[in-house]
Every structure is written in structure tokens, then in C-alpha cells.
């Protein structure tokens, strides 16, 4: 298995992990809505995951850049830009327990969009991995 | 009209432009009526005809409206005197110089009915004589126009119209009717429940509107209907309002009845409390919940009078007769034994604080208020921490009445120098020590030169002291916190004021104030902020703490105790806060009938779950606004909203205050419009605008207010007046919402939202905190100030009437009413301006200020002397009344504004006249013009 194969195998695993974090976020939000959890604990818990999730995604993008995978990079660029804006520039990435109920619909929507994006990219990476493997074996 | 002159003593006539006739007001009681008092008093019946609707520009619709209102409001008055009112109008047209009255079938029929009624001798005399005394004590400015609900219902019953007469909707043209400030004193539209809705039929079955009111007093059955009307739907709550004697009537606020036998009947499914709208089934063995229709068992002891140990009368139980009731809760409602009241004072003793006299005034006030601090059970504890760049604790030396001071200068890692119980003193046991300490505090620090404030560490220390029991941190700070956690930077930059960047200054500058607030809320610690600053002190960040811990913020810009006005204002407000009967460890939950959902919450608390508000302390007279959404189609004839506040009283009793409100439902959009409570809508809008400012920008908040007004007007136009055509000439609005556009304009022009590059962010932030906490009664004057003229007030104003001091008639808020020789009062509940015209006669100045002439008078904060002449005493009485008539701790400062005095002072006072054109804001007429253009230009047609 060559470089590209390994790269996309890693990307597939990464996308799966990111997929799980999104699902986890959504579950936590619905827990909050159903009153299984109080907003303070929720925010403390979720805030631990926000930066790692964004870092993981940024790392993936970095790998695509270093291996000149322009298409994959281009697909990820909008989300990367959005994350950078949120974490680095406006610093609004943390969940605020005082505002959480007001912003909950937004957060849920964002998590669903992320979920969809990771799901699509998961299949794209899988496809690219298979293509890479096939082309190697030929 | 000659009606001004031939009035009996004690009456005044006020021209009412809305109805094109005189409104007669008996100034001693505040009683208002349309009829000439001599006629209604059974005097010369032929003197003048009862004013009939004069034909006005809006033709038939208008005349019909007057007839209808007349028939409702005046029914009790009209009926006994058919000669004067009923026959007089049609038979003797043209009397009193009035043109022939336009008579409409509606008017004729209703009056005919009323006459029939009177002719049958149903004893209306008794009814109409009694009703001023029976007025429900709404707020303090109870107009005397509407008879109580049940009486009105009786009348309808007698008239054979059934108990549920649909709301009559009257349309007014905003452009042609100048706003009448008296309308703000009207009670909200009456709640007309279907007959038999309440099992006890008690007049108090619905709580007084000052506890809980809704923006619409009829609930639409579907979400689509609500959406179509564009009306906001929310509840305005002040569950812990103070009881004040009502000002315009002799009736005091009735106290909330208390159920002491701990028999609490609650629905098994929705957990709502039993209330006057449930129904008993199975011969009274079971009751059916009015919220979720669940059938529940009636508790065994429900019909047992435990106090007398004998069978009791179920129907006299307060929870079945009263919409506002308080239950004494058994131990199931306690997480831990009721906590004692713990006050931790954090007093800034840096150079600025000592120099301004804040420390001296504060300690003196605490000392004087020690007896007023609630301490019925001798458990109240207090502690004191002074701070500048270090923290100073005071501990009681065992076996002595002296306290020793412990200095902690390590502010990075705050620790308590002694165990908790030596720092927090029991007020009763250690009274002497507390008094000595308070007496000496000022001395200890009077020569301090230390500049800097470790407020954050002081808060943490206070939190450690109070966290085990819960309690209240009362913070007095005179400078920007600069050290340790929570240090803030001076963000104020005159260059960015008035630009979109300004909004950032209104958001918290350090995350500490949010995270710490959450910790406090968890530990049941509430924070009050008293801020005294000569310069920028970042009210926006600091007020976060009271916001999320259900405390209060007070701001005294440029405080200097050497000015007695400053000291008195602060001491008064601080004293009231210390002495108020607060609730502790509270949660609020609002329940409603099925299909109704609470969607957003505004006010000072922490939202702990989707519908649970956590309040470590409940100060009296705090306002909460709850937005409501409809999720299902409502099928019941009425719906019920129930607010429950579980709290510990300051005398250590766990209680639940339950406030119930039932509203009828409708599928008719015109009923919806006819039931709008404009006061509640304005309160909602103020809260929403502040939320929008804090989440987004000031511009967004202004746009939102504007959009609400245009949407409502547009929807009303397209739904009710059939779009364009003749209606396009004016701006149509239901008569019960006539003041709403002006209130919205007042909000747009308010310090909190106004577009300006001159408003300090601290003032804005403070205004925001007031807008979200003031109860409607205080909030409305804050948006729409009261304006009185003193130099030509009627002779009885300022004297004591049946219901306290009589205030002069309200004037519309326009500078056209200011005259050069006049003396005026403009007040918004937070400040009182005494406007002195430049040509005031020396006698007036002499009488009021004891100064030789106008030139000798200086503008600014002022204390009016009480002089030995009737005019001075009357003016003082009016000022005194203004200061005490509303709920809340606020003590408005008095400012003298000279007509040719300092421009900033003058502009400040003039900015209260909201109908005038401002610097960058339109006048009322211009604004209406803009609204009209927008409506006509948009797709609402």
C-alpha cells in the first residue's frame, strides 16, 4: 500500500472519529433538552471536545496539503475556514452555560451539518482509498 | 366649551382628543367619567346633555366605537339616569354648542338595553356607588373607569347578552389621534372567561395583573393565527411584588393568602397545583387538572380545618379562591433544612472609595439598617470583607466584643485566614462587635493612598464564606477591578461610541463574570452590585454577576457623599435592599395547558433546564418575561398558566408561591387585537431589545423594535381594515394599543438604545439592566416619562386626597407644553427634573426655592427646601409622592433644569420629552410618517 492509500485510510478513520464526536454532541444536546443533564455539566463536558475536534480536522487538512491532495483539501477548506474563524479570531467556540438554552437550536443545527459533512467526506475518503489501492495493485 | 367653568369643586375637565369630548375627573379620588358631574350627581338634569360623540374625521367607525365604550364603561353610571344620558342625547341635539351628535344603531341599542335595565329597577344605584371602593388594587394608579370584572359580567348577564360577549375591537387612526398619557394608566383589557370557568367564581381567581400579565388576554387557538396577527405572546411576571398601598384608591394591596396546613394538592401528571380553575368530579372525591385534564384524588385532609380541628369549608380554601397563593411546603420540598440569611458585604476601601465618602455612607447605612435586616429567627449572619489591593477579613475574638483584622495580600490564590464560623458573625449574638466594626471601618482606612481594586479575589473570598449556606454577596465597588482574577481593562474609547463597535462594550469584558456567576448560582449565592464610579467601571461586565445570580445592580455615576443628594439617594436605596424580605434558594417554573410551550426567558436568573429558572435569591419587585409558543391547536375554551416559585423565606420557612392566570381562547383575529395589553407588549419588547443588544448589536436591537411595530401595524392593516383604500390615509391600530407606538419610540430613544456617540457605555449598560428588571409599573414611566406642569396646576393638586397626594394632570411629552414662565416636572422613576422657565416670576422662585429670583438659582442636583407657604408644601408633596408611589427601591434624585442653564443638563431633560425630534431621532409625528410610508410601500397592501 502506497502513500496515498495510507493517507486515505487514515482520513477514513479520522472522519469516523469526527463522525462520532458529532453524534456525541447531538446526543448531549438532546439530553439537555430532555432535562437529563444540567447546562453547567454539559458545557464543561462539551468544551473539552471542541478544540481537539477542530485540531483533528485541521491536522487532516494539513496532511492533505503536504501530500498535494488538492481536491480533498478544497472540500475541507470551507469548514477549516469556519473553524479558524470561530476558534482563533472570534473565540466563540466554547459553549456558554448562561446562553445555552437560547442558542441550543443553532448548536444542534451546526452539529447536524457537521455530521452530514463528515459522513460525506467519510465516503469520499473511502472511495479515494479504494481507488488508490486499485491503482496500486494494477 | 363651557364645561370647564361650571364644575363642582374638586372636579376638573380634561379634553380628550381621542374621544373628542371632555373627560371629567374628580381629583380627590381620581374617579373619571365622561358625564358632567352635575348631571350624574342628580343635579340640574337639563344643564348640559351628556357629551355625545361628535362627528369626527373617521366617520361612522369612530362614532360607533365611542358608543360601544360608553355602553360598557359607563353602563353603571348611565343606567340610573336615563333622563340625563339615555334620552338626553338623542332628544336634545345641539345643546351646549355641540353639533348634532352622530347616532349609530350600536349606541342606541346598547343604551336602550341599559335603560330597560334601569327601568326594571335592578338596583344599580347601590352598585355604582360602591364600586370605587371595590376597585381591584392594580398597581397604584388605578383609573376609576372600569367596574370590576364580575360586576361587568353581571351587567352583561342582566342585559341578556350572555356572559361571554366578544371583545369589541375599535380602530383608531394614529396619525389623527395625539397620544394621551392617561391611557397608560388604564388596566389591561379585561379577561372574559366563559361562565363557570372558575369553580368558586371569586373575583380574585385570576391573579392581579401586577403579578402576572400576558401580552394578549385572549389566546389564539392556532399558531397560524398568532403568526398572522404578528403579536408577541409572552407572560410578564413579578411574582414577588411588594405590597404597597394603592395611590389612586383607598384600597391597599391585599397580601397573598397563605395555606399553612401543608396540604398541597398537585396533579400527578403535570405537577401543577390545584387552583380556582380545576373541576371537582366524583362528588368532590377527585379533581380534574385544568392543565392536562388528568383526574386526581383530592387529599384526605383537604376538607379538614387543622387549626380548629374540625371539618372545614373546601370552598373557602385560598387555593380555590385566589389566583395568587402561597403554600407552606413540607420537607419533601427541601433539599436541605432552610438556610439562614447570610449577608457578606464586600466593601471597596481603596483611595477612590474612601475619598468619595462611599465607605462612610455605606457603613453608616448598614449600621442604621441592622434592625431592618430580616432576622425574625435570630439566625441571620453577616460578614464583612474590605478590599483594595489586598483583602481584609474581620474575625471575632472569642469572648470579646472586638473584631480583629486579618490581612490577606495573596490575591492569586485566595484562602480564608480563619475558619468560616469566626468570620461570619451571627447578627443577634455578635451585634455589639458588628456595630463597633462598622463604626470604625471608615477610620481604619481614611488615610489610605492605595489605588487598585482586587474585586475578583474579594468575590471569591466572599463566595467561600457563603457557599456552604448560600447567601448574598453585597458588593460595593468604586473603581474598575484591576487585580487578580476578573481584572478588567478600561475599554471605553470615545472614538468608537456611536459606531457598530460600540456594542462590544456592552458585552462582558472578562469570562470570569460569567463562570463565577454560574458557580454562585450552583451554591445558592446571589450577588448584588453597588457601583460608584467617577470614571469608567465597566458596568456591562460587572452586572453579569447580578444578572445570572438574580441579584440587582445599582449604579451611582460620579458619586460624592459630600453632596447630600447623592448620599441620601444611595442610603435610601441601600437601606431598602438590606431591609427587603427576600426569598432564598428559589426555583421558578411556569406551567401551562397542553400545547403551550415556554420558549425563552428574560430577567435576572440562571436557566437551569428548559423550563426551570434558578434564583439563589428573589429580591422583591423583579420582573421576568417569558416568551410563549403554541405547538398544538388549542381546543379548550380557556387555557391556564401557572407560575410556581419555590423559595425559602428569610425567616426560614420553605414556601411555594403559586400564581395562576386563566385566559380564554379564540379563533377570531379581531378579538386577539382587542385584547392586547400594550403595557405588557412594551415590557416584552424592552427585554427582547436588551437581549438582542447583548447577543448582537445595538443596531439589530433598534431594527428589531422597528420591525415589531411595522409588522404589527402592517398585519393589523391587512387583516382588519381590508388593506389599502380609505385606510391608507392613516395608520390604523386598535384603540387598546394606541400608546404602543409611542412606547416603542420611547424605547428607541432611550439611553439604552438611542443612536448617539455621547452616551457612556456604563450608562447604557445600567439602563439595560434596569430595562430587564423593572416591573411594568416602573418600566413604563422609564420609557415614557411623566410630565406635569406645576405653576398652573389645579388648586387641589399637592394636597392630600382620599388616596394620598393628588398629582397634577399628565401632559403629553412634547416641549410645546413648556412655557417660559412655567415650572414643570419631568420624571421617569429614576430621575426627577424640575424645569424652571426663564421668565419665572420671582414670587414663584421665592415660594419654591427661597431664592430672590431666577438668576440666583443654580441648576443640577438639588434638595427642595420645605418652606412655610402652601405652594412649596404642595410641590414637596408631589415630589415626595413621585418618589414613593412605585414599587422598587429606587429613590429618584431631583435635578433643577434652568431653561437657559448648562446645555448638557437641558438636553438630558429634554431627551425625556420623547414626542419631540431628537438629535438623530425623529419626532413622534415624523416617526408615524416613516411607519406609514414603510407600510404603504411594502407588500402589506
pLDDT of residue B549: 93
The interface predicted TM-score of the complex, written ipTM, equals 0.85
Q: How far apart are CA B81 and CA B86, in angstroms?
A: 7
**Chain B residue numbers touching A35 (CB-CB < 8 A):** 609-610, 612
Contacts of B382 (CB under 8 A, 6+ apart): B342, B343, B344, B345, B373, B424, B425, B427, B434
Other Cβ atoms within 10 Å of B839 Cβ, number: 11
| More confident call, B427 vs B15 | B427
pLDDT of residue A24: 94
**Chain A residue numbers touching B694 (CB-CB < 8 A):** none
Nearest CA of chain A to the CA of B641: how many Å? 21
Q: Tell me the mean pLDDT in the region B672-681.
A: 91
**Chain A residue numbers touching B607 (CB-CB < 8 A):** 39, 98, 100-101
In the numeric block, the cell 479515494 is attached to A128
| More confident call, B938 vs B626 | B626
- Judged by a CB distance cut-off of 8 A, whether residue A97 touches chain B is yes
Contact B349, B359 (CB under 8 A): yes
pLDDT of residue B182: 85
Query: B711-714: long-range contacts (C-beta < 8 A, 24 or more apart)?
Result: B711/B230, B712/B229, B712/B230, B712/B231, B712/B737, B712/B740, B713/B741, B713/B931, B713/B935, B714/B230, B714/B935, B714/B938, B714/B940
Q: How far apart are CA A80 and CA A85, in angstroms?
A: 8
Helix (H) / strand (E) containing B583: strand B583-592
Q: Tell me the mean pLDDT in the region B582-603.
A: 91
Q: Tell me the mean pLDDT in the region A14-23.
A: 94
Tell me if residue B399 falls in helix, strand or coil: coil
Contact B294, B267 (CB under 8 A): yes
Strands B624-630 and B596-602, bridge-based pairing: antiparallel
Q: Cell numbers for B231, please give them.
A: 403579536
Q: Tell me the mean pLDDT in the region B163-176.
A: 70
The third-level CATH classification (topology) of the domain covering B780-928 is Severin (3.40.20)
CA distances from B218 to A57, B535, B714, B737, B932 (A): 52, 49, 20, 15, 28
Q: Cell numbers for B23, please give them.
A: 373627560
Q: How far apart are CA B694 and CA B682, in angstroms?
A: 19
Q: Tell me the mean pLDDT in the region B18-36.
A: 57
Domain spans of chain A?
3-137
* B70, HSE (Cβ side, Cα atoms, 13 Å): 31
Q: Give the chain A residue whose CA is nearest to the CA of B519.
A: A40
Choice among B36-45, B141-150, B207-216, B895-904 with the minimum mean pLDDT? B141-150
pLDDT of residue B680: 93
pLDDT of residue B705: 93
Q: Tell me the mean pLDDT in the region B180-204.
A: 83
Q: Could you say which architecture CATH assigns to the domain B263-321?
A: Roll (2.30)
* pLDDT over 90 (residue B870): no
| More confident call, B498 vs B589 | B589
- Judged by a CB distance cut-off of 8 A, whether residue A30 touches chain B is no
When CB atoms are compared, the residue of B518, B601, B612 closest to A40 is B518
Q: Tell me the mean pLDDT in the region B201-224.
A: 88
- Cβ-Cβ contacts under 8 Å between A and B: the total is 32
pLDDT of residue B362: 93
**Chain B residue numbers touching A32 (CB-CB < 8 A):** 609-610
pLDDT of residue A34: 86
Q: Do A33 and B610 touch (CB under 8 A)?
A: yes
Q: Tell me the mean pLDDT in the region A95-110.
A: 89
Q: Give the chain B residue whose CA is nearest to the CA of A102.
A: B600
Q: Tell me the mean pLDDT in the region B177-202.
A: 83
* pLDDT over 80 (residue B704): yes
Q: Tell me the mean pLDDT in the region B206-218.
A: 89
Question: What are the backbone angles phi and psi of residue B807, rounded to the nearest 5°?
Answer: -90, 150
Q: How far apart are CA B803 and CA B806, in angstroms?
A: 8
Q: Give the chain A residue whose CA is nearest to the CA of B610.
A: A33
Q: How far apart are CA B306 and CA B260, in angstroms?
A: 9
What CATH number was assigned to the domain covering residues B342-579?
A: 3.40.50.410
Choice among B335-349, B500-514, B535-549, B766-780 with the minimum mean pLDDT? B500-514
Confidence of residue B555 (pLDDT cuts 50, 70, 90): very high
**Chain B residue numbers touching A108 (CB-CB < 8 A):** none
pLDDT of residue B723: 53
**Which value, in Å, is the radius of gyration of the alpha carbons in chain B?**
29
| More confident call, A62 vs B29 | A62
- Judged by a CB distance cut-off of 8 A, whether residue A39 touches chain B is yes
* pLDDT over 80 (residue B523): yes
Q: Tell me the mean pLDDT in the region B858-863.
A: 86
Confidence of residue B73 (pLDDT cuts 50, 70, 90): very low
Confidence of residue B119 (pLDDT cuts 50, 70, 90): very low
Confidence of residue B722 (pLDDT cuts 50, 70, 90): low
Residues from B contacting A (CB-CB < 8 Å) are: 514, 517-518, 522, 548, 600-601, 606-610, 612, 691, 695
Contact B767, B749 (CB under 8 A): no
pLDDT of residue B652: 86
* pLDDT over 90 (residue B396): no
pLDDT of residue A56: 93
When CB atoms are compared, the residue of A96, A97, A101 closest to B610 is A101
Q: What is the pLDDT of residues B633-660, one digit of tens each?
A: 888 889 999 999 999 998 888 999 999 9
Q: Do A40 and B601 touch (CB under 8 A)?
A: no
Counting beta carbons within 10 angstroms of the beta carbon of residue B791, is it exposed (0 to 12), middle (13 to 18) or buried (19 or more)?
A: middle
Confidence of residue B13 (pLDDT cuts 50, 70, 90): low
CATH class of the domain whose range is B219-256+583-668: mainly beta
Q: How far apart are CA B142 and CA B700, in angstroms?
A: 36
**Chain A residue numbers touching B548 (CB-CB < 8 A):** 98
Which of the residues A98, A101, A106 would you substitute to probe the B interface, choosing the one with the greatest number of B C-beta atoms within 10 Å? A98
Q: Do A35 and B522 touch (CB under 8 A)?
A: no
Contact B358, B453 (CB under 8 A): no
In B720-849, where do the E strands start and end? 732-734, 786-789, 800-801, 804-805, 823-827, 831-836
Q: Do B609 and A99 touch (CB under 8 A)?
A: no
Q: Tell me the mean pLDDT in the region B861-886.
A: 88
Confidence of residue B901 (pLDDT cuts 50, 70, 90): confident
What percent of chain B stands above pLDDT 90?
27
Q: What is the pLDDT of residues B804-832, one digit of tens each?
A: 888 888 888 888 888 888 899 999 989 99
Amino acid at each position: 500500500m502506497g502513500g496515498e492509500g495510507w493517507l486515505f485510510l487514515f482520513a477514513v478513520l479520522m472522519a469516523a472519529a469526527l463522525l462520532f464526536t458529532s453524534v456525541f454532541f447531538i446526543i448531549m444536546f438532546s439530553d439537555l433538552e430532555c432535562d437529563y443533564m444540567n447546562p453547567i455539566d454539559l458545557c464543561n463536558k462539551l468544551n473539552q471536545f471542541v478544540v481537539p475536534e477542530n485540531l483533528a480536522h485541521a491536522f487532516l487538512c494539513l496532511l492533505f496539503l503536504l501530500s498535494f491532495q488538492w481536491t480533498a483539501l478544497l472540500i475541507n477548506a470551507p469548514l477549516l475556514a469556519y473553524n479558524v474563524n470561530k476558534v482563533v479570531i472570534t473565540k466563540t467556540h466554547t459553549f456558554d452555560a448562561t446562553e445555552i438554552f437560547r442558542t441550543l437550536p443553532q448548536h444542534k443545527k451546526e452539529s447536524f451539518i457537521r455530521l452530514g459533512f463528515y459522513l460525506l467526506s467519510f465516503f469520499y475518503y473511502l472511495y479515494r482509498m479504494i481507488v488508490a489501492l486499485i491503482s496500486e495493485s494494477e | 366649551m363651557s364645561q370647564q367653568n361650571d364644575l363642582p369643586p374638586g372636579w376638573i375637565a380634561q379634553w380628550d382628543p381621542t374621544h373628542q369630548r371632555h373627560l371629567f375627573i374628580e381629583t380627590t379620588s381620581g374617579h373619571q367619567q365622561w358625564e358632567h358631574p352635575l348631571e350624574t350627581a342628580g343635579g340640574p338634569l337639563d344643564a348640559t346633555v351628556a357629551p355625545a360623540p361628535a362627528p369626527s374625521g373617521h366617520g361612522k367607525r369612530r362614532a360607533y366605537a365611542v358608543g360601544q365604550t360608553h355602553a360598557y364603561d359607563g353602563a353603571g353610571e348611565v343606567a340610573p339616569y336615563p333622563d340625563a344620558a339615555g334620552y338626553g342625547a338623542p332628544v336634545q341635539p345641539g345643546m351646549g354648542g355641540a353639533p348634532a351628535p352622530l347616532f349609530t344603531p350600536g349606541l342606541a341599542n346598547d343604551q336602550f338595553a341599559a335603560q330597560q335595565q334601569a327601568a326594571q329597577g335592578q338596583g344599580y344605584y347601590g352598585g355604582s356607588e360602591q364600586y370605587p371602593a371595590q376597585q381591584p388594587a392594580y398597581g397604584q394608579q388605578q383609573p376609576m373607569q372600569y367596574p370590576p370584572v364580575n360586576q361587568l359580567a353581571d351587567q352583561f348577564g342582566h342585559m341578556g347578552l350572555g356572559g361571554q360577549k366578544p371583545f369589541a375591537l375599535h380602530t383608531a387612526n394614529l396619525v389623527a389621534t395625539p397620544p394621551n398619557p392617561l391611557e397608560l394608566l388604564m388596566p389591561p383589557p379585561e379577561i372574559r372567561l366563559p361562565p363557570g370557568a372558575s369553580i368558586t367564581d371569586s373575583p380574585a381567581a385570576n391573579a392581579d395583573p401586577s403579578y402576572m400579565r400576558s401580552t394578549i388576554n385572549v389566546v389564539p387557538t392556532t399558531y397560524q393565527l398568532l403568526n398572522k396577527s404578528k403579536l408577541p405572546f409572552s407572560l410578564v411576571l413579578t411574582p414577588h411584588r411588594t405590597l404597597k398601598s394603592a395611590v389612586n384608591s383607598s384600597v391597599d394591596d391585599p397580601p397573598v393568602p397563605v395555606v399553612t396546613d401543608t396540604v398541597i394538592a398537585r396533579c400527578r401528571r403535570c405537577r401543577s397545583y390545584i387552583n380556582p380553575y380545576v373541576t371537582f368530579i366524583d362528588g368532590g372525591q377527585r379533581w380534574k387538572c385544568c392543565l392536562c385534564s388528568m383526574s386526581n384524588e383530592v387529599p384526605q385532609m383537604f376538607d379538614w380545618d387543622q387549626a380548629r380541628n374540625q371539618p372545614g369549608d373546601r370552598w373557602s380554601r385560598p387555593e380555590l379562591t385566589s389566583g395568587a397563593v402561597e403554600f407552606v411546603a413540607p420537607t419533601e420540598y427541601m433539599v436541605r433544612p432552610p438556610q439562614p440569611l447570610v449577608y457578606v458585604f464586600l466593601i471597596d476601601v481603596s483611595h477612590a472609595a474612601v475619598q468619595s465618602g462611599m465607605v462612610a455612607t455605606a457603613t453608616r447605612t448598614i449600621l442604621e439598617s441592622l434592625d431592618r435586616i430580616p432576622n425574625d429567627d435570630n439566625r441571620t449572619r453577616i460578614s464583612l470583607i474590605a478590599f483594595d489591593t489586598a483583602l481584609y477579613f474581620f474575625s471575632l475574638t472569642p469572648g470579646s466584643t472586638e473584631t480583629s483584622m486579618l490581612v490577606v495580600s495573596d490575591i492569586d490564590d485566595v484562602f480564608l485566614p480563619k475558619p468560616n464560623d469566626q468570620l461570619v458573625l451571627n447578627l443577634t449574638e455578635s451585634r455589639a462587635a458588628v456595630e463597633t466594626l462598622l463604626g470604625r471601618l471608615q477610620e481604619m482606612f481614611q488615610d489610605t493612598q492605595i489605588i487598585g481594586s482586587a474585586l475578583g479575589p474579594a468575590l471569591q473570598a466572599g463566595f467561600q464564606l457563603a457557599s456552604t449556606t448560600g447567601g448574598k454577596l453585597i458588593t460595593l465597588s468604586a473603581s474598575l477591578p484591576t487585580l487578580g482574577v476578573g481584572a478588567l481593562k478600561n475599554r471605553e474609547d470615545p472614538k468608537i461610541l456611536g459606531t457598530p463597535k460600540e456594542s462590544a462594550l456592552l458585552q462582558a469584558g472578562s469570562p470570569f463574570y460569567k463562570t463565577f456567576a454560574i458557580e454562585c448560582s450552583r451554591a445558592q449565592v446571589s450577588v448584588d452590585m453597588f457601583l460608584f464610579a467617577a470614571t469608567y467601571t465597566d458596568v456591562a461586565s460587572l452586572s453579569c454577576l447580578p444578572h445570572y445570580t438574580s441579584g440587582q445592580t445599582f449604579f451611582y455615576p460620579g458619586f460624592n457623599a459630600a453632596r447630600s443628594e447623592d448620599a441620601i439617594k444611595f442610603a435610601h436605596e441601600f437601606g431598602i435592599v438590606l431591609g427587603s424580605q427576600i426569598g432564598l434558594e428559589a426555583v421558578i417554573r411556569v406551567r401551562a395547558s397542553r400545547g403551550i410551550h415556554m420558549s425563552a426567558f428574560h430577567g435576572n436568573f440562571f436557566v437551569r433546564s428548559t423550563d426551570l429558572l434558578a434564583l439563589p435569591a428573589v429580591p422583591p419587585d423583579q420582573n421576568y418575561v417569558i416568551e410563549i409558543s403554541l405547538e398544538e391547536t388549542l381546543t379548550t375554551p380557556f387555557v391556564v398558566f401557572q407560575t410556581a416559585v419555590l423559595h425559602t423565606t428569610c425567616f426560614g420557612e420553605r414556601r411555594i408561591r403559586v400564581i395562576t392566570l386563566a385566559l380564554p381562547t379564540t379563533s377570531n383575529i379581531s378579538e386577539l387585537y382587542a385584547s392586547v395589553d400594550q403595557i405588557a407588549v412594551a415590557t416584552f419588547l424592552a427585554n427582547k431589545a436588551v437581549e438582542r443588544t447583548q447577543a448582537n448589536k445595538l443596531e439589530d436591537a433598534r431594527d428589531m423594535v422597528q420591525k415589531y411595530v411595522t409588522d404589527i401595524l402592517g398585519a393589523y392593516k391587512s387583516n382588519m381594515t381590508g388593506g389599502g383604500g380609505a385606510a391608507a390615509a392613516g395608520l390604523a391600530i386598535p384603540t387598546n394599543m394606541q400608546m404602543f407606538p409611542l412606547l416603542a419610540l420611547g424605547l428607541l430613544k432611550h439611553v439604552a438604545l438611542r443612536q448617539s456617540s455621547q452616551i457612556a457605555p456604563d450608562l447604557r449598560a445600567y439602563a439595560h439592566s434596569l430595562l430587564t428588571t423593572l416591573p411594568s409599573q416602573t418600566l413604563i414611566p422609564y420609557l415614557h416619562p411623566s410630565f406635569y406642569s406645576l405653576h398652573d396646576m389645579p388648586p387641589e393638586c399637592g394636597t392630600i386626597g382620599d388616596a394620598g397626594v393628588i398629582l397634577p394632570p399628565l401632559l403629553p411629552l412634547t416641549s410645546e407644553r413648556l412655557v417660559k414662565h412655567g415650572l414643570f416636572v419631568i420624571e421617569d422613576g429614576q430621575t426627577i427634573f424640575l424645569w424652571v422657565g426663564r421668565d419665572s416670576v420671582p414670587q414663584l422662585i421665592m415660594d419654591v426655592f427661597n431664592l430672590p429670583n431666577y438668576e440666583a438659582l443654580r441648576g443640577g442636583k438639588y434638595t427642595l427646601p420645605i418652606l412655610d407657604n402652601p405652594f412649596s408644601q404642595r410641590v414637596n408633596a408631589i415630589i415626595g409622592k413621585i418618589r414613593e408611589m412605585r414599587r422598587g427601591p429606587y429613590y429618584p434624585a431631583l435635578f433643577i433644569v434652568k431653561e437657559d442653564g448648562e446645555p448638557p443638563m437641558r438636553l438630558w431633560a429634554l431627551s425625556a420629552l420623547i414626542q419631540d425630534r431628537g438629535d438623530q431621532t425623529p419626532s413622534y409625528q415624523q416617526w408615524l410618517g416613516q411607519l406609514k410610508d414603510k407600510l404603504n410601500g411594502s407588500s402589506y397592501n
